[in-house]
Amino acid sequence: MTSSDAAPSADADATPTLTFADLGLGEAVLKALRDVGYETPSAIQAATIPTLLAGRDVVGLAQTGTGKTAAFALPIVDRLDAAQKTPQALVLAPTRELALQVCEAFEKYAAHLRGVHVLPVYGGQAYGVQLSALRRGVHVVVGTPGRIMDHLAKGTLDLSALKYLVLDEADEMLKMGFAEDVETILAETPVDKQVALFSATMPPAIRRIAQQHLRDAEEITVKTTTTTSANTTQRYLVVSYAQKVDALTRILEVENFDGLIVFVRTKNETETLAEKLRARGYSAAAISGDVAQAQRERTVNQLKAGKLDILVATDVAARGLDVDRISHVVNFDIPVDTESYVHRIGRTGRAGRSGAAISFITPRERRLLDAIEKATRQPLTEMRLPSVEDINITRLARFDDAITAALGQAERINEFRDIVAHYVEHHDVAELDVAAALALVAQGDTPLLMSEEEERAARAEERRARDARADGRDGGATRGASGEGDRGERRPRRDAGSFAKYRIEVGRRHRVEPRQIVGAIANEGGLGRDDFGAIQILSDFSIVELPADLSPAVLKKLAGTRISGKLIEIQPDRGRPGRRPRERG
């Protein structure tokens, strides 16, 4: 084996000397990378991708969070043959969670390659789903050793034409007792395949596998030197996907921030989230890699001048951004590698100033949190979702401050004092009542204080996130009671008679999924998980079961809800002739 060391620079703002285009990747893959906001490769990617593209085997010594998934996935995706329907690549991972993350990464990178199919294979999932996918044809299989062994024993997984094999987190697989399974699987694969082995450590057992099954492998070691500013407090909140917007709104209510950057993973999400924040009364704007330089400069200048308070950005768009006003960074989507995390929170706490970083973690992303803490050698403090009481205390304090500031304008106060005295004299109303009425006029239709109903909805979401964390899944309502996936119906927890059917004007042709429907309606209407019954998605509309006693106020709120950019136009289902969905058990 040959060896090369690659260490990422601790200076996140250094002028990039290498891009993904320099590594030899094809245009379809580069376009997918631009979509997800990747600009410059991490150290493990820069060292590994050209080696794998050249056809050599690789042993990568790197911690979780260094970007190793892209290091092996990108060169594999770049060389897939869409015409070959038997598996061309097999990735072995120690856990179901890692297998799913790797699978999602492959799907993102293959977004602009027509007809490429990736299949996660793990224990606990029904065999039927996996078997039907394998019969249709799969290009990449990502799985845990135990379930891969099951398929090999049944003869349902054909590895005879395999070209690429990856052992991800090999040391973890051996710790979990998969050594014999890994050896057996390797023996079932072609001799002339290309192998990439990634491990945080190199115990003798891993070294033995590398010597036996890899040919002329290049050994690549990445020494992470990522550090974060001591001036920045780092916190995290465990939250379901559907709860993120509400959680962000509550945090903005109680945090004393000046300027704030919210980081998301994709350019499409920047404008979507900025629009939601503007609808809630915040001055927010979006920037991504697609924004023209002139517009980017205008937006940044607005942030510097205090005309804009919140910037929703991708990693690429925020690169090199240095604005004194930025007191907070929120990772709305946690980054998949630690270098991006360090770069993001480096936007605050600069030049001796204090800063705050808050990261949203879904239950399935706990591994990423662990990797960040390990790489930065700094623990993140768990925070709780601000309660209605917290928010109301903050709102009252701000209201008091506004009154105090107004009382300081003596000349203008005298003008209004005469007006109030005139009203009291002619209408026989107490001065305190007039003051309350003026406060009502100033406040408008928006209530000053949050209601207990909103608190109950938030507590229901918190319980849902906590339950999801306990069983290791995301809190998003993405599966039916049958467990058959996104198209399945959720069996209502209420009595069937307490639900009514509502029609919304989004369906399959809008590429809508149940989790989007649940997330949007729950967020806008303040509903909890138990408030949803069956969801039936048809061609151009959907039928959703919601509480029969849904108030007119909630329906009015839901009237302006958008899913996939389209107004849902919610209304009670009248069962239009010829369009009524069949009831399913």
Domain shared by 80 and 208, yes or no: yes
- Is there a domain that residue 87 lies in? yes
Give 356's strand partners.
233, 328
Average confidence (pLDDT) over 250-268? 89
- Among the candidates 369, 386, 403, a domain finishes at 386
Q: Beta strands of 54-150 (E only): which ranges?
A: 58-61, 89-92, 118-121, 140-143
Instruction: Using pLDDT thresholds of 50, 70 and 90, give the confidence band for residue 393.
Output: confident
Sign of CA pseudo-dihedral 128, 132, 135, 138: negative
Instruction: Using pLDDT thresholds of 50, 70 and 90, give the confidence band for residue 35.
Output: confident
Task: Give pLDDT tens digits for 408-452.
Answer: 777 777 777 777 787 877 787 787 877 777 777 766 666 666 666
The number of domains in the chain is 4
pLDDT at 460 over 70: no
Residue 496: per-residue pLDDT: 52
pLDDT at 540 over 60: yes
- Is there a domain that residue 532 lies in? yes
pLDDT at 575 over 80: no
Domain shared by 378 and 407, yes or no: no
pLDDT at 487 over 70: no
Q: What percent of the chain has pLDDT over 90?
A: 30
Domain shared by 482 and 394, yes or no: no
- Is there a domain that residue 497 lies in? yes
Residue 352: per-residue pLDDT: 58
- Is there a domain that residue 490 lies in? yes
Look up the domain containing 242 and give its range.
232-386
Domain shared by 346 and 266, yes or no: yes
Residue 295: per-residue pLDDT: 84
- The answer to which of 149-163, 346-360, 530-544 has the lowest mean pLDDT is 346-360
Residue 204 C-beta-side C-alpha neighbours within 13 Å: 0
Residue 458: per-residue pLDDT: 56
- Among the candidates 222, 256, 288, a domain finishes at 222
CATH number for position 335: 3.40.50.300
Domain shared by 166 and 114, yes or no: yes
- The answer to which of 116-125, 278-287, 364-373, 436-445 has the lowest mean pLDDT is 436-445
* Selection from 199, 189, 358 nearest residue 263 by Cα: 358
Task: Give pLDDT tens digits for 329-339.
Answer: 999 999 877 87
More confident residue, 491 or 235: 235
Residue 455: per-residue pLDDT: 58
Domain shared by 312 and 242, yes or no: yes
Q: What are the CA-CA distances from residue 547 to residues 435, 514, 530 (Å)? A: 40, 17, 9
- Is there a domain that residue 454 lies in? no
CATH number for position 508: 3.30.70.330
Task: Give pLDDT tens digits for 543-572.
Answer: 999 888 888 878 887 877 877 767 888 988
Rounded Cα distance, 545 and 489, in Å: 10
More confident residue, 550 or 48: 48
Domain shared by 190 and 87, yes or no: yes
Domain shared by 201 and 243, yes or no: no
- Is there a domain that residue 314 lies in? yes
Domain shared by 10 and 76, yes or no: yes
Domain shared by 69 and 169, yes or no: yes
Q: Is 365 exposed, middle or buried (0-12, 13-18, 19+ CB in 10 A)?
A: buried
Could you give the 3-state DSSP secondary structure of residue 178?
coil
- Is there a domain that residue 269 lies in? yes
Task: Give pLDDT tens digits for 208-219.
Answer: 899 999 998 999
Q: What percent of the chain has pLDDT over 70?
A: 81
Domain shared by 47 and 80, yes or no: yes
Rounded Cα distance, 419 and 50, in Å: 77
- Is there a domain that residue 96 lies in? yes
- Among the candidates 189, 222, 255, a domain finishes at 222
Domain shared by 555 and 430, yes or no: no
Average confidence (pLDDT) over 132-148? 93
pLDDT at 479 over 50: no
Instruction: Using pLDDT thresholds of 50, 70 and 90, give the confidence band for residue 323.
Output: confident
Cβ burial 272-297 (10 Å sphere, 16+ → b, else e): bbbebbeeeebebbbbbbebeeeebe
